[in-house]
């Protein structure tokens, strides 16, 4: 363990062009507060006031997202410079009400390891002379040479516990701090929205201060209809910081419970008086549709069946394994089953993960888990929400799946696995070692926790000893649901050095201050 100073800022020659892209995004007009689906009979030209974003970027591809204020054809241009000289044109779809006026265009055949400038123009589908103002963004494709390093950030939990966009504090300020640090991409570990958490106009803080929120009609109640889920995803895009961030930093996005309802699982019937729709399967299907419309995810398109779990390959140094611990899990229980093939991943996703980890040739395999492994996350008094259930003995319940995976990693000699997660609304670092564990058949590994982005802070949870975790760092509030005005928000940063291959994890708070740092060596099965 090495606690200490932050790593130096990245030297890059694209600072001026990134500033230009950010300024262009910042100049977007703020969409009308409470604006729902746009009217189709508006006059004038199409507008993309909700900004642009790019997702799942690889060495030669990326997926561009935009939202229009009316039906429009999506046209994307890409170029090596912000002048857009010798631009390449990509003809995207006609976007309309069936996708809440959002659209995706897939970019392929891009040069690796290069800065890509792009601009999106919306065109009236009936009159190509009527075009909207172009909206610009930029991103860097993944390198094909090992000598080029990689930096990314991760966090999660946005607009949780009623803490929304506060104009008095400048909105979601953490995004501006992350944008300033210029990562190659951002991994959102879930809880992108709080569909079960209405946003009120104001909340009184314990010290007498008042927290003010921007509010919308859709966020005034829990999300049940497709329109309400869409409005919950759209709410966050009212924030200037987030739209600037999206225009500069590509994303890798996963989901978790609050995209639907706290601690939900397939087949659940909700016991929540706020809901008229009680079936979690109905609600999750509506949320997943809206989720697929509002994030650029290559395995999940609005017009076809798909899945959230996937591998995003970011050059020879890094593969990111994005898990879905929500869609395929069994019911939350006491977790004492002696057999559990379904577990938290489902049998098919576990087979996929074992296969893809075995195939990976990347130096580092970052496993993006939407829930922690050894932290005991309760669901009521007798049930458990994550993997651990508080019994420090041999694996039981969902722990059986994790044991199978860790055994596979050891016996296949899979090197460079690191786990990152969010979910619990504080930041910590756990080292797992068989010498401290009840289950011995695995190699040591690290799990890093960071979050929330803009939500309530919560007290630290207990550790389960089954896999021998030791908490090397912890920062958490001493009471439940502290506001972002009372306690810091957190994000994690991973830097992979192109020369040595070393991976350094830094746990940061929203000011950018480094709270904990750990450097790991490449080429090892265990750390």
What element of type H or E holds 446? strand 445-449
Quick: pLDDT tens for 261-281.
Answer: 999 999 999 999 999 999 999
Quick: pLDDT tens for 124-138.
Answer: 999 999 999 999 999
**Of 334 and 35, which is predicted with more confidence?**
334
Average pLDDT over residues 298-308: 81
* pLDDT given at position 524: 83
The Cα–Cα gap between 337 and 397 comes to 4
Average pLDDT over residues 354-375: 98
Coil/strand/helix, residue 24: helix
* pLDDT given at position 369: 98
**Strand ranges across the sheet with 427-432:** 310-313, 318-322, 364-368, 417-421, 445-449, 427-432, 469-475
* pLDDT given at position 302: 64
Quick: pLDDT tens for 197-242.
Answer: 999 999 999 999 999 999 999 999 999 999 999 999 999 999 999 9
* DSSP type of residue 131: B
Question: With 90 as the cut, is the pLDDT of residue 394 above it?
Answer: yes
* pLDDT given at position 9: 38
* DSSP type of residue 267: T
Coil/strand/helix, residue 432: strand
- H helix intervals, 334-443: 347-359, 399-411
Q: Exposure of 370 by Cβ count < 10 A (0-12 exposed, 13-18 middle, 19+ buried)?
A: buried
Of the candidate ranges 9-13, 287-291, 365-369, 508-512, the one whose mean pLDDT is the lowest: 9-13
pLDDT band at residue 525 using 50, 70 and 90 as cut-offs: confident
Of the candidate ranges 43-47, 63-67, 483-487, the one whose mean pLDDT is the lowest: 43-47
pLDDT band at residue 94 using 50, 70 and 90 as cut-offs: very high
Question: With 50 as the cut, is the pLDDT of residue 368 above it?
Answer: yes
Asked if residue 18 lies in contact with residue 138, where contact means CB atoms within 8 angstroms, the answer is: yes
- Does the CA dihedral 506-507-509-513 come out positive or negative? negative
Work out the number of other CB atoms within 10 angstroms of the CB of residue 337.
17
Instruction: Give DSSP secondary structure letters for 323-362.
Output: --SSSS----B----S--SSTTT-HHHHHHHHHHHHH---
pLDDT band at residue 431 using 50, 70 and 90 as cut-offs: very high
pLDDT band at residue 433 using 50, 70 and 90 as cut-offs: very high
Phi and psi based region of residue 380 (left: phi greater than 0; alpha: psi -120 to 50; beta: remaining): left
**How far, in Å, are 150, 314, 355 from residue 445 at the CA level?**
21, 21, 19
What are the residues facing 379 on neighbouring strands?
A: 383
Question: With 80 as the cut, is the pLDDT of residue 304 above it?
Answer: no
């991973």: which residue's tokens? 494
- Cα dihedral 50, 51, 56, 60, rounded to 10, equals 150
Question: With 60 as the cut, is the pLDDT of residue 17 above it?
Answer: no
Quick: pLDDT tens for 74-86.
Answer: 999 999 999 999 9
What are the residues facing 383 on neighbouring strands?
A: 379
Q: Exposure of 120 by Cβ count < 10 A (0-12 exposed, 13-18 middle, 19+ buried)?
A: buried
Asked if residue 170 lies in contact with residue 241, where contact means CB atoms within 8 angstroms, the answer is: yes
Three-state helix/strand/coil letters over 59-81: CCCEEEEEECCCCEEEEEEEECC
Quick: pLDDT tens for 308-341.
Answer: 999 999 999 999 999 999 999 999 999 999 999 9
Instruction: Give DSSP secondary structure letters for 92-126.
Output: EEEE-GGGTTEEEEEE-SPPTT-EEEEEEEEE-TT
* pLDDT given at position 187: 98
pLDDT band at residue 303 using 50, 70 and 90 as cut-offs: low
> Any idea how long the chain is?
527
Closest CA to 271 of 210, 332, 356, 325: 332
Of the candidate ranges 250-259, 453-462, 475-484, 518-527, the one whose mean pLDDT is the lowest: 518-527
**Of 34 and 274, which is predicted with more confidence?**
274
Structure tokens at 516: 């904990």
Asked if residue 357 lies in contact with residue 408, where contact means CB atoms within 8 angstroms, the answer is: yes
Question: With 60 as the cut, is the pLDDT of residue 365 above it?
Answer: yes
Query: What angle do the packed helices 173-181 and 240-248 form, to 10 degrees?
Result: 20
- Does the CA dihedral 86-91-97-98 come out positive or negative? negative
């993944």: which residue's tokens? 142
Task: Calculate the average pLDDT of the chain.
Answer: 92
Diameter over CA atoms, the chain: 70
Question: With 50 as the cut, is the pLDDT of residue 358 above it?
Answer: yes
Angle at 155 between CA 523 and CA 511, to 5 degrees: 105
The Cα–Cα gap between 82 and 18 comes to 9
Work out the number of other CB atoms within 10 angstroms of the CB of residue 180.
12
Query: What angle do the packed helices 347-359 and 399-411 form, to 10 degrees?
Result: 20
pTM, 2 dp: 0.92
pLDDT band at residue 48 using 50, 70 and 90 as cut-offs: very high
Average pLDDT over residues 150-170: 98
Of the candidate ranges 27-36, 81-90, 453-462, the one whose mean pLDDT is the lowest: 27-36
Phi and psi based region of residue 382 (left: phi greater than 0; alpha: psi -120 to 50; beta: remaining): alpha
Provide the percentage of residues in the chain whose pLDDT is more than 90. 89
Coil/strand/helix, residue 259: helix
Question: With 70 as the cut, is the pLDDT of residue 505 above it?
Answer: yes
Closest CA to 79 of 137, 31, 126, 123: 137
What element of type H or E holds 515? strand 514-520
Instruction: Give DSSP secondary structure letters for 452-510.
Output: -SBS-B-PPPPBPGGG-EEEEEEE--SSTTB-TTTS--EEEEEEE-TTT--EEEEEEET
């Amino acid at each position: 363990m090495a606690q200490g100073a932050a790593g130096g800022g990245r030297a890059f020659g694209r600072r001026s062009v990134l500033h230009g892209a950010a300024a262009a995004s910042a100049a977007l007009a703020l969409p009308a507060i409470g604006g729902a689906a746009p009217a189709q009979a508006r006059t004038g030209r199409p507008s993309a006031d909700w900004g642009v974003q790019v997702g799942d970027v690889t060495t030669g591809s990326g997926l561009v997202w935009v939202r229009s204020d009316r039906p429009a054809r999506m046209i994307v241009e890409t170029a090596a410079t912000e002048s857009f000289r010798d631009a390449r044109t990509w003809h995207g779809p006609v976007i309309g009400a069936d996708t809440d006026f959002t659209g995706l265009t897939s970019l392929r055949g891009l040069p690796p390891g290069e800065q890509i400038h792009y601009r999106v123009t919306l065109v009236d589908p009936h009159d190509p002379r009527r075009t909207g103002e172009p909206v610009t963004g930029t991103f860097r494709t993944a390198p094909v040479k090992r000598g080029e390093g990689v930096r990314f950030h991760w966090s999660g939990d946005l607009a949780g516990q009623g803490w929304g966009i506060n104009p008095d504090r400048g909105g979601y300020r953490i995004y501006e701090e992350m944008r300033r640090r210029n990562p190659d991409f951002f991994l959102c570990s879930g809880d992108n929205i709080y569909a079960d958490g209405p946003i009120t106009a104001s909340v009184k803080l314990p010290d007498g201060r008042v927290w003010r929120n921007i509010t919308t009609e859709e966020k005034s109640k829990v999300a049940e209809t497709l329109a309400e889920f869409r409005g919950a995803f759209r709410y966050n895009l009212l924030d200037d910081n987030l739209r600037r961030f999206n225009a500069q930093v590509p994303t890798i996005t996963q989901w978790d419970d609050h995209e639907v309802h706290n601690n939900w699982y397939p087949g659940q019937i909700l016991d929540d008086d706020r809901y008229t729709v009680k079936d979690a399967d109905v609600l999750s299907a509506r949320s997943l549709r809206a989720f697929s419309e509002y994030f650029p995810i290559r395995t999940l398109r609005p017009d076809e069946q798909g899945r959230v779990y996937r591998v995003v390959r970011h050059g020879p140094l890094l593969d990111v394994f994005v898990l879905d611990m929500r869609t395929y899990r069994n019911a939350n229980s006491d977790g004492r089953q002696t057999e559990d093939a379904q577990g938290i991943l489902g049998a098919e996703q576990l087979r996929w993960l074992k296969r893809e980890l075995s195939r990976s040739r990347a130096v580092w395999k970052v496993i993006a888990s939407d829930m922690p492994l050894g932290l005991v996350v309760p669901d009521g008094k007798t049930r458990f929400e994550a993997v651990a259930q508080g019994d420090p003995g041999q694996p039981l319940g969902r722990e059986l799946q994790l044991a199978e995976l860790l055994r596979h990693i050891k016996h296949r000699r899979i090197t460079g696995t690191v786990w990152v997660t969010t979910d619990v609304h504080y930041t910590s670092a756990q080292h797992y070692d068989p010498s401290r564990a009840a289950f011995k058949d695995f190699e040591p590994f690290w799990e890093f926790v960071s979050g929330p982005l803009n939500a309530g802070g919560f007290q630290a949870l207990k550790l389960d000893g089954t896999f021998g975790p030791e908490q090397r760092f912890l920062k958490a509030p001493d009471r439940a649901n502290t506001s972002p005005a009372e306690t810091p928000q957190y994000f994690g940063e991973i830097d992979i050095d192109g020369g040595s291959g070393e991976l350094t994890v830094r746990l940061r708070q929203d000011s950018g201050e480094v709270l904990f740092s750990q450097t790991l060596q490449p080429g090892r099965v265990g750390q």
